[in-house]
Amino acid sequence: MFKKGDVISKLILVLFAAILLLMVLGGRLFTDIEEEAYESEETDRIVVGVSQLGSESGWRTANTESVQNVFTKDNGYFLLFNNARQKQENQIKAIRSFISQRVDYIVFAPVVETGWETVLQEAREAGIPVILMDRQVDVTDKSLYVTCVGSDFVEEGERAGRWLEKDLRKRGMDKETVNIVVLKGTEGSSSQIGRTIGFSVVASNHSNWNILEQEYADFTSAKGREVMEVFLKKHPDIDVVISQNDDMTFGAIEAIRDAGKTVGIGGDITIISFDAVNTALEMVADGIINVDIECNPNQGEYLSRVIEMLENGEKVENQYYVEENVFTIENVTRELIEERNY
Ligand code: GYE
C-alpha cells in the first residue's frame, strides 16, 4: 500500500518529467523550424542580415520599417534582423552571427564610428559584402565595406546654420548677441559629429553667435528634457536651441514650457530641429518648431537597388545620399504631412 504523500510526490515527479520532455522537444522543434526555413530560403532568395542600432527615436522606427518593408519574401529576400539596443557589442555579436550563418549581405547602421576594423575584416574573410546604412564607420581601409546609404550630416548642420543666419537677418537681429545651446545626439555617432561640424562651420562666421553650451542627450526625448532643464537653470537668457533630433526637441520643449518660457515663432526661444518626422512637422505648421532639417529614413529602397546592382555585377558608388528638405511654416502643409510615411 502507498501512503497518500508518496502518491502525491510521485505524481509531481511524473508531471515534472513530462514538462521537461515537452520543453526539450518544443525547443528542438522551434530551432529545427527556424533552421529549416532559413536553409530552404537560402537557395533561391537573397539572405540579408541587418544590424539595426536601436529604437531610440521616431526616425529609427521609420528607418527600421523601411528596411523591413523592402527585404520581404515577395521581393526575393530572406531577412535576418537584429536590434542592438544602442550597444556596439551587440552589433558586433549580430554581425558575427550573420557571418556564421553565411548570409549573402550584411547591412548595418553603426551606432558609433570607431571600433569596427576587426569584425569588418572577419566579414571580408568570409567573403560577405557589407553595406553601411544611415551612419558611417571610421576605418583606414575603406574597402572593408562596399558602400554607404545615408545622409550628408555636415550639410544638414550647415543648413541649420544658414537658416539661422537668414532668420536673424529677417528679424534685424544679425548684429545682436545671440545665445545658443546645442543638444547633441549619441556621442561618437556620425549624425552627431556631422551636424555639430556643419553648424559650427556657419557659426564660426558670426562673432555675435554665442554658443553657451553643447551637451550630449543621446537622441532621446527623456534625455533631451533632462539636459534642457540643466541648461535653463544655468542660463536664463537662451535665445536659440539647436536640437540634433526631433525626439530631443520634444523633451526640450516640455522643459522650456515648464520653466515658464515660450517657444517657436514669436516666442522666447527659437527651436531648430533635425529629422522632420510627422509629429514634429505638425509643430512646424503650428509655429512651435521654427525649422526642421529633414533627415530621410526611407533607405530600404536604396539598399535593395544597391544589392540588385551587386547581384548583376555592376559597379556601385562609394556613397549614396538620400534626398532631404528643409521645413518651415512656409512650406509645411497638411497634405504634405498626410502624404509622408514618417
Ligand atoms: O537623426 C536620430 C536617430 O543617425 C540619422 O539617429 C540618424 C539619427 C536620427 O536616433 O533621430
CA distance 194 to 201: 11
Whole-number pLDDT of residue 22: 57
Cα(165)–Cα(178) distance, integer angstroms: 11
44-151+297-311 in CATH: which number?
A: 3.40.50.2300
pLDDT < 50 positions in the chain: 1-2, 26-36
CA dihedral 186→133→250→168, nearest 10 degrees, is: 90
Q: How far is the CA of 329 from the centre of ligand 1 (A)?
A: 23
What is the SS3 assignment for 180? Answer: strand
CA 48 – ligand 1 centroid, Å:
22
Mind giving me the DSSP string for 14-61?
HHHHHHHHHHHHHHHHHHHHHHHHHHHHHHHSEEEEEEE----SHHHH
Q: What is the pLDDT of residue 9?
A: 65
At 35 the pLDDT is 46
The closest-lying atom of ligand 1 relative to the alpha carbon of residue 56 is: 10
Quote the CA–CA distance of 283 and 234 in Å, as a whole number: 27
Distance 299 CA to ligand 1 centre (A): 13
Alpha helices by DSSP H, 126-152: none
How much is the pTM?
0.88
Atom of ligand 1 at shortest distance to CA of 189?
Answer: 4
Q: Which residues contact 197 (CB under 8 A, 6 or more apart)?
A: 154, 157
Please give the pLDDT value at position 275.
98
Residue 49 Cα to ligand 1 midpoint, Å, equals 21
- Ligand 1, residues at Cβ distance < 6 Å: 56-57, 59-60, 134-135, 151, 191, 219, 245, 247, 274-275, 295
173 CA distance to ligand 1 middle (Å): 31
In angstroms, the CA 188 to CA 213 distance is 18
**What are the extents of the domains in the chain?**
44-151+297-311, 153-295+327-339
Give the pLDDT score at 36. 46
- Among 245, 246, 249, 294, which is best to mutate for testing ligand 1, by the most ligand atoms less than 8 A from CB? 245
Separation of 264 CA from ligand 1 center, angstroms? Answer: 22
Atom of ligand 1 nearest to the CA of 150: 5
What pLDDT is recorded for position 14?
66
Domain pair 44-151+297-311 / 153-295+327-339, same fold? yes
Residues 6+ apart with CB under 8 A from 162: 202
Assigned fold of 153-295+327-339: Rossmann fold (3.40.50)
* CB-based burial, 173-192: b 16+ in 10 Å, e otherwise: ebeeebbbbbbbbbebbbbb
pLDDT of the residue at 44: 86
**Residue located nearest, by CA, to atom 5 of ligand 1:** 191
Among 248, 275, 298, name the best residue to mutate to test ligand 1's pocket (greatest count of ligand atoms within 8 A of Cβ). 275
**Which residue CA neighbors atom 4 of ligand 1 most closely?**
191
Of 51, 57, 292, best ligand 1 pocket probe by most atoms within 8 Å of the beta carbon: 57
pLDDT at 4: 59
CA of 191 to the centre of ligand 1 (A): 6
Nearest CA owner, ligand 1 atom 7: 191
- C-alpha of residue 83 to centroid of ligand 1, in Å: 15
Tell me which residue of 17, 29, 332, 60 sits closest to 186, measured CA to CA: 60
CA proximity to 328, closest of 160, 102, 145: 160
